[in-house]
């Protein structure tokens, strides 16, 4: 027994010694240390590194968060309530911005940016503004902007002797190409799909067919309109009628692994699809596959030319004791150095529009084969950002709509029934919220009254 106790004690002391040696170095107290909560993708550290080199008085560290699962907002709010929030954090879309503002976490930097000579409203992409401007006030600086387009694998086009797509405008024109590139094996099982697309992109189809989630004032969910249903139906048809896109079941069978990027990108990289709807940021991973010959074109559209656009914006935590210092980072996001770096890295496109209209953007000498950069820039002009209603929590609405879309995607419910159920449930939730909150009710009545006039 005595031997055992002594052995455990020695091992414990040794392990403590190892832990002591492995502990992170203390912060350099001669610098101002800042924390940036963002996704830990391959480009982020380089962006941080450049800032730290250009601003030796600061040391910005990454606090990684998985933005794919929506974990960012949860982490920022919970940490900030506990008094240990990050100094800077990323936000996506108008709903999250509104939430951060109402929660007292986002710092209004309108005046600070103005004093620094930064005019986000004028210089940034229009599609980024809803993510950074709330009730006329500016709460941060966009850190990138993106709208998806069609990637195509030139080798697969060559292999099946299909000319590269050019001047393809509508889905109707696009379908025959997708069908030619959907290849089956001797058992009739699809071994290569013509088209790959993330399931959440169904919203883009709803918009392209003229549908919307809410009325413009957000008082009612109208995702059951004939136009919205037609968009969902077309998305469904790509899987179950035309068989040019994998069903959720097919995707699982093709063993997508997710991780940074998306399952769709992994499938495209693995040659499981000739074309895929994806962002410019895919290049961060696609560039690693040297033998992949890529092309890109604008995404086809339905009756309306609209694309799903989004922007990542960086916001300063209002409660941070280092918020003044954090301003330096926002200035960096609007700078020449940062914007050129983002374009070079292909972390979507630069948040400041002007940097996408340079020769360097169009022809990056390090990537001479990338002759498609104009596509990612030009699609931004047709981008629409997420729709939100002030009368319902976007996450709640998302959960309700997603459940119905899940049933459509799994071919368990017709699009019409599913969208009617989604609209019914969302509208019921809106009414429930109005009953709970007199202020919300007053705003709703005001809008409805306005509408009646």
Partner 1 sequence: MKTTRRQRNVVIAAGFLLPNLLGFLVFTAGPVAFSLVMSLSNWNIQHTVPFQWTFLRNFVDLWHDQSFWLYFVNTIYLMLGLPLAIAGSLVLALLLSQNLRGITIYRTLFYLPSITSGIALMILWKALYNPDFGPINAVINWTLQTFHINGILHALFGTSVTPPQWLLATRNLLGLDVEKVGFLPAQWGLGARDAIIIMGIWIAVGGNNMLLYLAALTNLPQELVEAAQLDGAGKWAVFKNVTWPYLAPTTFFIVVMSFIGGLQGGFEQARVMTGGGPAGTTMTMSYYIYTKAFEEFQVGYASAVSWVLFIIIFIVTLINWRLSNKEVNY
Closer CB to partner 1, residue 151 or residue 444? 444
Sign of torsion over alpha carbons 259, 261, 267, 269: negative
> Within 10 Å of residue 50's Cβ, how many Cβ atoms?
16
Q: Which one, of 110, 76, 109, 108, lies nearest residue 92 by Cα? A: 76
437 binds partner 1 (CB under 8 A): yes
Closer CB to partner 1, residue 360 or residue 399? 399
> Within 10 Å of residue 272's Cβ, how many Cβ atoms?
22
Q: Is 61 helix (H, G, I), strand (E, B) or coil?
A: strand
Q: How far apart are the first and last CA of the chain?
A: 88
CB 279 within 8 Å of CB 197 = no
Structure tokens at 316: 């300063």
Closer CB to partner 1, residue 74 or residue 381? 74
Q: How many residues belong to the site for partner 1 (CB under 8 A)?
A: 32
Q: What is the rounded CA–CA span in Å between residue 272 and residue 4?
A: 57
**Using CB under 8 A, which of 16, 249, 358, 450 touches partner 1?**
249
Q: Which helix (H) or strand (E) holds 314?
A: strand 310-316
Task: Mark 404-433 with x for binding to partner 1 (rule: CB under 8 A) and - for no binding.
Answer: x-xx--x-x--------x----------xx
Closer CB to partner 1, residue 121 or residue 424? 424
CB 9 within 8 Å of CB 37 = no
Q: What is the rounded CA–CA span in Å between residue 6 and residue 141?
A: 59
**Cβ neighbours of residue 409 under 8 Å, at least 6 residues apart?**
199, 202, 235, 236, 239, 247, 248
**Using CB under 8 A, which of 162, 440, 441, 447 touches partner 1?**
440
Closer CB to partner 1, residue 219 or residue 373? 219
58-64 and 32-38 as β-strands: parallel, antiparallel, unpaired? parallel
Q: CB of residue 67 vs partner 1: minimum separation in angstroms?
A: 14
360 binds partner 1 (CB under 8 A): no
Q: CB of residue 393 vs partner 1: minimum separation in angstroms?
A: 5
CB 329 within 8 Å of CB 107 = no
Q: CB of residue 78 vs partner 1: minimum separation in angstroms?
A: 7
**Using CB under 8 A, which of 436, 449, 452, 453 touches partner 1?**
436
Q: Which helix (H) or strand (E) holds 63?
A: strand 58-64
Q: CB of residue 406 vs partner 1: minimum separation in angstroms?
A: 4
CB 422 within 8 Å of CB 400 = yes
Closer CB to partner 1, residue 127 or residue 221? 221
Q: Which stretch, 172-180, 346-354, 356-364, 388-396, contacts partner 1 (CB under 8 A)?
A: 388-396
Alpha carbon distances (Å) from 246 to 151, 190, 258, 274: 16, 9, 16, 12
Q: Which one, of 134, 145, 146, lies nearest residue 318 by Cα? A: 134
Q: Which one, of 321, 430, 327, lies nearest residue 118 by Cα? A: 327
Closer CB to partner 1, residue 209 or residue 391? 391
88-92 and 310-316 as β-strands: parallel, antiparallel, unpaired? antiparallel
**Using CB under 8 A, which of 74, 158, 337, 378 touches partner 1?**
74
Q: CB of residue 208 vs partner 1: minimum separation in angstroms?
A: 25
Q: CB of residue 248 vs partner 1: minimum separation in angstroms?
A: 6
**Using CB under 8 A, which of 33, 41, 52, 393 touches partner 1?**
393
**Using CB under 8 A, which of 17, 104, 226, 259 touches partner 1?**
104
Task: Mark 251-290 with x for binding to partner 1 (rule: CB under 8 A) and - for no binding.
Answer: -xx-x-----------------------------------
Q: What is the rounded CA–CA span in Å between residue 405 and residue 411?
A: 10
**Using CB under 8 A, which of 9, 81, 354, 448 touches partner 1?**
81
Q: CB of residue 440 vs partner 1: minimum separation in angstroms?
A: 7
Closer CB to partner 1, residue 191 or residue 324? 191
Closer CB to partner 1, residue 30 or residue 439? 439
Catalog residues that contact partner 1 under the rule CB under 8 A: 70, 74, 77-78, 81, 99, 102-104, 248-250, 252-253, 255, 393, 395-396, 399, 403-404, 406-407, 410, 412, 421, 432-433, 436-437, 439-440
């Amino acid at each position: 027994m005595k031997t055992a106790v002594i052995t455990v004690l020695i091992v414990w002391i040794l392990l403590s010694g190892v832990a002591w040696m492995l502990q992170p170095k203390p912060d350099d107290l001669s610098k101002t240390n800042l924390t940036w909560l963002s996704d830990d993708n391959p480009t982020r550290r380089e962006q941080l590194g450049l800032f730290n080199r250009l601003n030796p008085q600061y040391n910005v560290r990454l606090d990684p968060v998985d933005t794919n699962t929506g974990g960012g907002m949860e982490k920022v709010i919970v940490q900030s309530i506990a008094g240990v929030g990050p100094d800077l954090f990323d936000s996506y879309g108008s709903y999250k911005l509104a939430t951060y503002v109402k929660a007292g976490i986002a710092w209004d930097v309108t005046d600070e940016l103005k004093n620094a000579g930064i005019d986000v409203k004028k210089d940034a992409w229009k599609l980024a503004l809803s993510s950074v401007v709330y009730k006329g006030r500016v709460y941060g600086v966009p850190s990138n902007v993106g709208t998806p387009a069609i990637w195509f694998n030139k080798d697969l086009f060559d292999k099946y002797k299909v000319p590269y797509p050019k001047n393809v405008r509508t889905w109707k024109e696009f379908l025959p190409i997708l069908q030619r590139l959907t290849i089956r094996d001797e058992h009739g099982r699809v071994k290569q799909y013509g088209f790959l697309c993330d399931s959440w992109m169904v919203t883009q189809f709803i918009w392209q067919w003229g549908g919307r989630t809410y009325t413009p004032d957000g008082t009612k969910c109208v995702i059951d309109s004939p136009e919205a249903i037609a968009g969902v139906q077309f998305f469904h048809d790509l899987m179950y009628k035309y068989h040019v896109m994998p069903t959720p079941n097919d995707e699982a069978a093709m063993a997508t692994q997710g991780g940074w990027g998306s399952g769709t990108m992994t499938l495209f990289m693995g040659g499981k699809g000739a074309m895929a709807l994806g962002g410019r940021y895919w290049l961060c991973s696609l560039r690693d596959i040297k033998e992949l010959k890529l092309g890109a074109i604008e995404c086809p559209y339905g009756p309306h030319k609209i694309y799903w656009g989004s922007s990542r914006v960086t916001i300063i935590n209002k409660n941070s004791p280092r918020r003044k210092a954090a301003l330096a980072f926002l200035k960096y996001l609007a700078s020449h150095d940062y914007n050129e770096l983002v374009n070079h890295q292909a972390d979507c496109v630069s948040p400041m529009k002007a940097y996408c209209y340079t020769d360097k953007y169009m022809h990056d000498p390090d990537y001479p084969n990338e002759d498609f950069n104009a596509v990612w820039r030009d699609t931004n002009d047709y981008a629409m950002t997420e729709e939100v209603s002030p009368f319902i929590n976007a996450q709640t609405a998302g959960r309700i709509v997603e459940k119905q879309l899940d049933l459509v995607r799994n071919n368990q419910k017709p699009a019409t029934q599913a969208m009617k159920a989604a609209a019914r449930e969302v509208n019921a939730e809106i009414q429930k919220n109005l009953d709970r909150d007199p202020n919300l009710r007053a705003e709703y009545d005001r809008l409805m009254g306005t509408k009646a006039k």
